[in-house]
């Protein structure tokens, strides 16, 4: 029987914290309220509450989970509890408007090198200005050590919006990273800055020699693709290995794209959105030489967080994309066949503002929300 999602949400917030992260072969027995979706029945297993603007998470091999909060805290979830004491030793985080501590990922060879990468807003050298940055370090006990600044986006500005930011490694150890247009629309079409772009690096921050604009006069050599407004979700397809992203439009025009080398994704010259005051951004929704989105949302759902499902715990959702929605306050399940969207479904409508979604090493789906700040996982029933 269909459950009232608002009742489910209220119930979930007050559920006791579950046991710690399980080994993949161990099934979780959970008796919470059952939620019926089109393809799957599931429950919400609340792990922690009281988080402040959580933005990203990653899973350590020892079962601990790192969660970053935008105001500048890295928290550890261990043995079924969110530890009170934040990780110390982080670089200076510029908590400025939409900026702050925004993502955390492990190096693909973490077992050998112990590198942890963070994306965050960092100040520059001139007053209260800055841009999005990447640093890496190692976690020793409760302290972030051996910190290296790998990249700091240019130019620096005091604007408070569109910092991005997500980090994704591919199987060749290339690191992809997003920065939004920082509130200046034409930044996205200008190759002389990093804003409104997907960038590509080696794992130590060096610039790959085969990046598309390495030899272009006046272009930033880190650029992989451009014409993006503000990407806050990015992941590799589990089968094809292609890089997929979603990005915020203004009022309408949120997009899903396949991110490819050297391509122009149109913003602000081609868009399905309009300005927040109702004026036209562009009369064009498509233009020659620019890539049209695989899917666009109008009105906006404000997408944030993206994960592909390939866990055998969720065969009904196999290779589906899960997208968090901030304004929409739901998870958007996107069915993709041959790089085309064939179906969508809204899950957990009106639950909260969804900020990040990841498939954990145990095969369950882990989710962060804000307003309220909840950490939970989805358990199939």
Q: Alpha-carbon distance 75 to 67, whole Å?
A: 5
Distances (CA, A) of 41 to 3, 7, 197, 268, 322: 11, 16, 38, 40, 16
> Any idea which residue has 């066949």 for tokens?
337
Encoded tokens for 239: 């089968």
Q: Alpha-carbon distance 262 to 338, whole Å?
A: 22
Q: Alpha-carbon distance 60 to 51, whole Å?
A: 19
Q: Alpha-carbon distance 185 to 228, whole Å?
A: 9
Encoded tokens for 171: 């199987």
Nearest to 137 by CA among 108, 160, 165, 105: 105
Burial state string for 249-264 with b = 16 or more CB within 10 A and e = fewer than 16: bbeebbbbbbbeeebb
Q: Alpha-carbon distance 52 to 358, whole Å?
A: 18
Q: How many other CB atoms are there within 10 angstroms of residue 109's CB atom? A: 12
Nearest to 193 by CA among 204, 202, 203, 182: 182
Out of 73, 156, 162, 194, which one is annotated catalytic? 162
Active site annotation includes 162: yes
Q: For 317, list phi and psi in degrees, rounded to 5.
A: -110, 20
Q: Alpha-carbon distance 224 to 250, whole Å?
A: 23
Q: Alpha-carbon distance 112 to 114, whole Å?
A: 6
Active-site positions? 162
């Amino acid at each position: 029987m269909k459950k009232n999602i608002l009742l489910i949400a209220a119930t979930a917030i007050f559920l006791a914290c579950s046991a710690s992260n399980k080994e993949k072969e161990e099934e979780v027995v959970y008796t919470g309220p059952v939620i019926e979706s089109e393809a799957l029945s599931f429950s919400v297993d609340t792990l922690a509450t009281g988080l402040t603007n959580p933005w990203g998470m990653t899973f350590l091999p020892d079962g601990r989970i790192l969660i970053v909060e935008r105001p500048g805290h890295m928290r550890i979830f261990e043995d079924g509890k969110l530890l009170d004491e934040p990780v110390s030793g982080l670089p200076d985080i510029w908590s400025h408007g939409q900026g702050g501590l925004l993502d955390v990922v492990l190096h693909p060879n973490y077992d050998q090198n112990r590198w942890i990468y963070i994306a965050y807003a960092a100040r520059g050298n001139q007053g209260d200005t800055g841009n999005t940055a990447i640093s890496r370090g190692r976690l020793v006990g409760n302290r972030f050590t051996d910190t290296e600044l790998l990249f700091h986006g240019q130019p620096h500005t005091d604007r408070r919006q569109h910092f991005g930011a997500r980090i994704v490694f591919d199987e060749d150890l290339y690191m992809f990273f997003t920065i939004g247009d920082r509130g200046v629309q034409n930044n996205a079409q200008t190759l002389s800055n990093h804003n409104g772009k997907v960038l590509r690096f080696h794992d130590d921050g060096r610039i790959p020699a085969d990046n598309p604009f390495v030899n272009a006069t006046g272009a930033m050599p880190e650029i992989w693709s451009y014409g993006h407004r503000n990407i806050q979700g990015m992941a590799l397809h589990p089968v094809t290995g292609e890089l997929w992203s979603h990005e915020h439009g203004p009022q309408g025009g949120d997009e899903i794209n396949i991110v490819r080398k050297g391509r122009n994704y149109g913003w602000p010259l081609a868009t399905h959105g309009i300005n927040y005051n109702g004026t036209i951004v562009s009369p064009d929704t498509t233009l020659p030489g620019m890539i049209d989105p695989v899917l666009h949302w109008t009105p906006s759902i404000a997408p944030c967080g993206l994960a592909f499902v390939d866990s055998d715990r969720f065969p009904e959702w196999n290779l589906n994309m899960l997208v968090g929605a901030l304004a929409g306050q739901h998870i958007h399940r996107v069915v993709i066949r041959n790089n085309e969207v064939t179906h969508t479904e809204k899950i957990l409508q009106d639950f909260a503002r969804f900020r990040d979604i990841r498939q954990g090493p145990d095969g369950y789906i882990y989710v962060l929300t804000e307003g309220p700040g909840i950490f939970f996982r989805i358990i199939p029933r």
